[in-house]
Chains A and B, each alone.
Chain A
């Protein structure tokens, strides 16, 4: 006996919210990537909870894929951040406005 399913779900939503707020509020690309990671983690929590709730392994399988996608995303994302930092000297996405000038 653990907790009602909705509690797991609400926890996932709350974690997601923190990641989202981070993405929306921070002006540092690295922090934004961190926010994305948090959101993905939230999704993973929801999937694992769902897998237990419905007694099916598909949810856990999806978490596996999420981990793979997250790893790729971080690798490419951080490479982009490094490249962007080389061009603009900044990690602030609001300064990435070369096209407007």
Chain B
């Protein structure tokens, strides 16, 4: 077992462990914190697999922006931690069974893949190369993603406005008209 392999397994254990802990936490704040560990582990895994740019993005976007957003919302809603029933074993059995089936299927597929047993060789893609590649081959998709992000922004803002109590909205509307 090479050093890289050892790092891979360690990272895998970290990702799985922290993700598993995250989903089982009763308090969403704890869950989010554990999840940050998981995403940081993912970022390191990306680095290991030769994608330093993506590793950086993972840390910035996932572990940074997204998780902070989660924390904001969790704290804003004071989300009830009385989610007792959801942690009972009985509720977990069906998803576990279905999920395990899925994992088994995925594992089997991976095993049967002819190149599956092939050992990966280390390689790194410089951010400059990656950027050039993306903007040469996938410029349309990048544009679409940017539009999507804009739309998401607009939608979030709109939902936030619409979410205000109904009476207020209509009142201001009629007022504006008159």
Could you tell me which A residues sit within 8 Å of B by CB distance?
1-28, 30-31, 33-35, 37-38, 41, 44-45, 48-49, 51-53, 55, 57-58, 60-61, 63-65, 67-76, 78-83, 85-87, 90-92
Contact = CB atoms under 8 A, between A and B. Distances in A.
Given A11-B15, A52-B120, 6 more contacts: A1-B120, A15-B19, A17-B100, A37-B66, A44-B42, A60-B125
B82 to A, nearest CB: 10
Contacts, number: 274
Interface string B35-63: 10011001001101111011001100110
Interface of B: 2, 4-5, 8-9, 12, 15-16, 19-20, 22-23, 28, 31-32, 35, 38-39, 42, 45-46, 48-51, 53-54, 57-58, 61-62, 65-66, 69-70, 73-74, 76-77, 79-80, 83, 85-86, 91-92, 94-96, 98-100, 102-103, 106-107, 109-111, 113, 115-123, 125, 129-130, 133-134, 137-138, 141-142, 145-146, 148-149, 151-153, 155-157, 159-160, 162-165
Contacts of B99: 17, 20-21, 24
Given A61-B137, A74-B69, A34 B23 contact: yes
A60 B83 CA distance: 38
Contact of B138 (A51, A61, A85, A92): A61
Given A68-B148, A83-B162, A3 B155 contact: no
Contacts of B153: 75
By secondary structure, the B interface counts as helix
A81 B98 CA distance: 26
B57 A67 contact: yes
A34 B22 contact: yes
Given A3-B8, A78-B69, A38 B152 contact: no
Contacts of A21: 23, 92, 95-96, 99
